Amino acid sequence: MSTAVAAHPDAPTSGVTNAKLGIWLFLASEVMLFGTLFTTYLVLRMGAASWPRGWDVLNVPMGMVNTFVLITSSVTILLAYVKASEKNKSGFQLYMGLTILLSFAFLVIKGFEYGAHFAHGEFPSTSIFNAVYFTMTGLHGFHVICGIIVNSGLLYLSGEDFEHPLFAGRVEGAGLYWHFVDIVWIFLFPALYLL
Amino acid sequence: MSEQTAHAHDIRPYLFVFGALLVLTVVTVTVSYLHLPPGPAIALGLAIATIKAALVAAFFMHLKGERAIIYGLIAITVFFLIVLFVLPITDSNWTSSRRVEHAAVGAQAEAAEAPAR
Amino acid sequence: MNTHDEHHGGHHELTFWEKYVFSVDHKVIGLQYLITSFIFLLIGFSLMMLMRWQLAFPGHPIPLIGGLLSSSLAPNGVMTGEFYNQLGAMHGTIMVFLGIVPLAVGAFGNYIMPLQIGAPDMAFPRLNMMSYWLYLPGGLMMLSSFIMPGGPAQSGWTSYAPLAIINPGQTVWLLSMVVIITSSLLGAINFLVTGLNMRAPGLSLDRLPIFVWAQLVTSVLLLLAFPPLEAAAVLQLADRVMGTSFYLPSGLIILGQPLKASGGGQPLLWQHLFWFLAHPEVYVLVLPPMGIVSEIIASGTRKPLHGYKTMVGSMISLGIMSFIVWAHHMFLSGMSPMLGNFFLVTTMIISVPSVAILTCMIFSLKGGSIRFTVPMMFALAFLPLFGIGGLTGLPLGLTTTDIYLHDTYYVIGHFHYVVVTGSIIALFAGTYYWFPKWYGRKMDETLGKIHFWGTVICMNGIFFPMFIQGMAGQNRRYFDPTAAHHNIPTQPLHIVSSVFAWLLFLFQLPFIYNFFKSMWHGEISEENPWQATTLEWACPSPPPHGNFAKTPRVYRGPYEYSLPGHKTDWFPQNEEAKA
């Protein structure tokens, strides 16, 4: 397609590949999805008679460690993309593997936090703050799991498909999604833990 | 496809941004230990988070130097996002204040009725 | 890209399943959407016919099928209030989310848009298949709620909290909605990428047919307005399943018992989030039909559309404005009156582009040599009827008059004029217009005309009385209108509406017969039966896999009819001018 279009000087495309445009459109819808959750958070917080400060009810150090973990995984997936576009297979596999490990680490730490809450008898139904906290982090966690599935799939496919001309583009797409998951956490962390 | 090789694979900016993100995370956590009142705390926390998100978007997501169509898409999305924030929150602030007023009026009325019984 | 290669290079034999069931061809998927959504429309319509009996003759046993209904729904054939509410909620949901949207976007958009831009298929064919295969299970799941314990949703298609959280039956509704929304989102992404990246050479944005523009704007609305409802639905689901209180205020007392919930939520938040989707959704319902009518008017009048740029600009501004008018559905909800004024002003502003589009369509008729074909007749009927629908909306958008008209039959009349005599009429027009494209055969003209007159007269017969009832103060949503004394004077009009509703059903029979008969035995159509200019007529009917033998090249705008000096009165977009 790209060669066929290039033959015509008035080729009417957006200049972005289909896959990349598709991912960005998907991320736009995701922005609205998480935007709704933040609206909910703000509306409920501002309407509440009292709202706990994050550090009183949540484990700030663990949240901070998780922030480091997620930011680091964002860098490793970026390096995986760099390696993929340099056609360096083992380098790609190393950094993609690291990304997946870090994502699991994020989920494990989150799991410990959840476990501590449940042990204290704090459930989503306990208070409106808990409802917001569990739903927002839960939905974010769901996105992390989706990311793990996509990234593991790419790691698995790299065994055979690494030379495919579109492979680096797919890694770029997965990377864009993963950075977005990172950005969501960058807002979630202060909103829930620090304010 | 030429566009992909055009990203010179100089990873130094990425590592610089990585460092900046870590530092900003430490800053925002440290500030939170000062236990500022909600107003300034939210303003500062939001400002730092926005800077961090902008760094990730601009460098990690290669938004810096992206095509016009992506900028357009982001502009539309951000516009509707602001709408989604501002209007329901404005309304909720008003209805919440009404609830407080109603509660106050109700309490007064009860207090006025109580001696009559 | 790879899709291109796959479609031109791969000539392996497709199995029956690959060809007709799990097909990745946009044409097969389009027809799957077409048939499925027409069936859902019929189901939604049948629910309404039951409701119409209750409204016309409250308390009388339903004839014919009354005895077949279970005794919990209709003891001795007399409908219960719960059953009436279930029918109402499911009618709205099915018609909007499973009927019109999939028909306008999934069916027409899927089949026609890639052809009109000269593309071999959608940008992501497999994603396209996935959209359909999420839509169908989502729809079946919605229907399955009729046999679930607790029955289907009964809190209206708006699912207002806190009622929807307390009522039984809403859980399946919410889950199905999440599935259907995901399907629409995938579709929207696919449409936008296709429309922006897959256009034939020479087809710049200012040469796109109006229908394609309508699909693009619609896709933006779906893309950005549906996620908030998806999130809101997840929160409501949490309220029902996990016991959270996002939409449950503190101190709620139900049947004398304090509700066991933490409280602290806000019911109005649900309304805001719901209508943040649902108002753009209204434009999802009307923009593609507007696009269809524009195509048909251009070819039916044999002259270029009046004000192409005005129409495109109006559609874009409709799309943008539609995101900031939603709270005119909530004027009487106790929301801030100051904000109400804001929404009043935006609502008045959004009527300007709508009127501009309609005016352009009407001006397009001036001086045209109109061919009264069946699709053109439907398109012509769209103009005044959609106009009535739009203009009757103005009093509802003004806060002062809305106080009186809110929640009366006037509202029902208004939006049914928009989506039934507007959207559905236009979708019928599109069906007659593109049928030769789908099957290579024409639909029967005589049966089409019977269908046309019967449909248009009956639709008006159903909805016009509702304006009178509404202005007389008849409340909507009442299971038994005669229970309120002030409704009794306008009760006979319910009988009029109901009779026309049942007649409308009878007049759909010629359409159904015509559709299936013409599919196999219709008159063979020539390649370009309407002598139209747009690209979908530049390939065989029905188009083969991959659509165009050779990628077409576009030389001019979409509506070059009656060009002076040209040998025929139409000048296709892909025909090279002879110098």
Both tokens assigned to A181: 């998951």
pLDDT tier at C5, thresholds 50, 70, 90: very low
The yes-or-no verdict on residue C350 having pLDDT over 80 is: yes
From CA A134, how far away is CA A129, in angstroms rounded? 9
pLDDT, tens digit, for every residue of B36-45?
887 888 889 9
Angstroms from B95 CA to nearest CA on chain A: 8
Residue A9 covered by a domain: no
Query: Could you tell me the mean pLDDT of each successive run of 10 residues in chain A, 195 residues long?
Result: 40 83 96 96 90 90 96 96 92 96 97 95 92 96 97 93 90 96 96 91
Residue A10 covered by a domain: no
**What is the model's pLDDT at position C86?**
94
3-state helix vs strand vs coil in chain B, percent to 5: 85, 0, 15
pLDDT tier at C12, thresholds 50, 70, 90: low
Residue boundaries of the structural domains of chain C: 15-249+261-538
The yes-or-no verdict on residue C7 having pLDDT over 60 is: no
Q: Which of the 8 DSSP states describes residue C105?
A: I
Give the best residue of B12, B51, B52 to mutate against chain A (max A CB count within 10 A).
Answer: B52
Q: Residue C524 — φ and ψ, nearest 5°?
A: -65, 130
**What is the model's pLDDT at position C376?**
97
**What is the model's pLDDT at position B1?**
39
**What is the model's pLDDT at position B116?**
54
Alpha-helical (H) ranges within A120-166 are 128-161
Q: Measured between CB atoms, does A98 come within 8 Å of chain C?
A: no
- Across chain C, mean pLDDT equals 92
Q: Which amino acid is at C211?
A: F
Chains interfacing with B (3 or more CB pairs < 8 Å): A, C
Q: Measured between CB atoms, does B77 come within 8 Å of chain C?
A: yes
How far from B77 is each of B52, B103, C204, C474, C564, CA to CA, in Å? 19, 39, 24, 41, 45
User: Under a CB-based contact definition with an 8 Å cutoff, are residues C100 and C45 in contact?
Assistant: no
Residue C411's Cβ-side half-sphere holds a number of Cα atoms within 13 Å equal to 18
pLDDT, tens digit, for every residue of C317-341?
999 999 999 999 999 998 999 999 9
How far from C222 is each of A179, C187, C281, C390, C479, CA to CA, in Å? 24, 9, 7, 22, 33
pLDDT, tens digit, for every residue of C544-571?
988 999 889 999 999 999 998 888 899 9
**CATH number assigned to the domain comprising residue A111:** 1.20.120.80
User: Under a CB-based contact definition with an 8 Å cutoff, are residues C24 and C129 in contact?
Assistant: yes
Map tokens 């629409």 to a residue. Answer: C184
**C-beta atoms of B87 and C268 within 8 A:** no
pLDDT, tens digit, for every residue of C390-428?
999 999 999 999 999 999 999 999 999 999 999 999 999
From CA C275, how far away is CA C289, in angstroms rounded? 21
Summarize the confidence of residues C289-297 as an average pLDDT: 97
Residue A152 covered by a domain: yes
**C-beta atoms of C224 and B90 within 8 A:** no
Say how many C-beta atoms besides its own lie within 10 A of residue A89's C-beta.
15
User: Under a CB-based contact definition with an 8 Å cutoff, are residues A66 and C295 in contact?
Assistant: no
Summarize the confidence of residues C106-126 as an average pLDDT: 95
What fold, for C15-249+261-538? Answer: Cytochrome C Oxidase; Chain A (1.20.210)
CA C539 to centroid of chain Cα atoms: 28
How far from C243 is each of A101, A111, A138, C271, C576, CA to CA, in Å? 34, 21, 15, 20, 66
Judged on CB neighbours under 10 Å (0-12, 13-18, 19+), A190 is buried
Summarize the confidence of residues C239-251 as an average pLDDT: 91
From CA C293, how far away is CA C5, in angstroms rounded? 35
Residue A4 covered by a domain: no
Q: Residue C570 — φ and ψ, nearest 5°?
A: -135, 145
Give the best residue of B77, B93, B102 to mutate against chain A (max A CB count within 10 A).
Answer: B77
Both tokens assigned to A180: 């977005």
Q: Residue C541 — φ and ψ, nearest 5°?
A: -115, 125
Give the best residue of B4, B60, B76, B97 to mutate against chain A (max A CB count within 10 A).
Answer: B60
pLDDT, tens digit, for every residue of C185-241?
999 999 999 999 999 999 999 999 999 999 999 999 999 999 999 999 999 999 999
The yes-or-no verdict on residue C64 having pLDDT over 90 is: no
**C-beta atoms of C227 and A48 within 8 A:** no
For C227, which of A36, A43, A127 is closest by C-beta distance?
A36
From CA C411, how far away is CA C389, in angstroms rounded? 10
**C-beta atoms of A43 and B88 within 8 A:** yes
The yes-or-no verdict on residue B5 having pLDDT over 60 is: no
From CA C13, how far away is CA C3, in angstroms rounded? 17
Q: Which amino acid is at A44?
A: L
User: Under a CB-based contact definition with an 8 Å cutoff, are residues C231 and A49 in contact?
Assistant: no
The yes-or-no verdict on residue C9 having pLDDT over 50 is: no
From CA C238, how far away is CA C508, in angstroms rounded? 42
CA torsion sign, B30 to B34 to B37 to B40?
Answer: negative
Map tokens 């999130």 to a residue. Answer: C231
Summarize the confidence of residues C145-167 as an average pLDDT: 89
**What is the model's pLDDT at position C137?**
96
**What is the model's pLDDT at position B115?**
61
**What is the model's pLDDT at position B114?**
67
Beta bridge mates, C258: C253
Map tokens 């760094």 to a residue. Answer: B55
pLDDT, tens digit, for every residue of C307-318?
999 999 999 999
The yes-or-no verdict on residue C44 having pLDDT over 50 is: yes
From CA C150, how far away is CA C152, in angstroms rounded? 7
Mind giving me the DSSP string for C286-347? HHHHHHHHHHHHHHHHTSPPTTHHHHHHHHHHHHHHGGG-GGGG-GGGT--HHHHHHHHHHH
**What is the model's pLDDT at position C46?**
95
**C-beta atoms of C276 and B92 within 8 A:** no
- Which residues of chain C does A39 touch, with a Cβ-Cβ cutoff of 8 Å? 273
The yes-or-no verdict on residue C165 having pLDDT over 70 is: yes
From CA A177, how far away is CA A175, in angstroms rounded? 5
**What is the model's pLDDT at position A13?**
79
**What is the model's pLDDT at position B106?**
77
3-state helix vs strand vs coil in chain C, percent to 5: 70, 0, 30
Chains interfacing with A (3 or more CB pairs < 8 Å): B, C
**What is the model's pLDDT at position C500?**
97
User: Under a CB-based contact definition with an 8 Å cutoff, are residues C88 and C51 in contact?
Assistant: yes
pTM here is: 0.93
- Which residues of chain C does B102 touch, with a Cβ-Cβ cutoff of 8 Å? none
The yes-or-no verdict on residue C264 having pLDDT over 90 is: no
Count of domains for chain A: 1
Q: Measured between CB atoms, does B80 come within 8 Å of chain C?
A: yes
Residue A103 covered by a domain: yes
pLDDT, tens digit, for every residue of B6-24?
445 788 999 999 999 999 9
**C-beta atoms of A191 and B29 within 8 A:** no
Q: Measured between CB atoms, does B71 come within 8 Å of chain C?
A: no
User: Under a CB-based contact definition with an 8 Å cutoff, are residues C60 and C78 in contact?
Assistant: yes
Beta strands C257-258; C253-254: pairing state: antiparallel
Which of residues A40 and C71 earns the better pLDDT score?
A: A40
Alpha-helical (H) ranges within C302-323 are 308-321
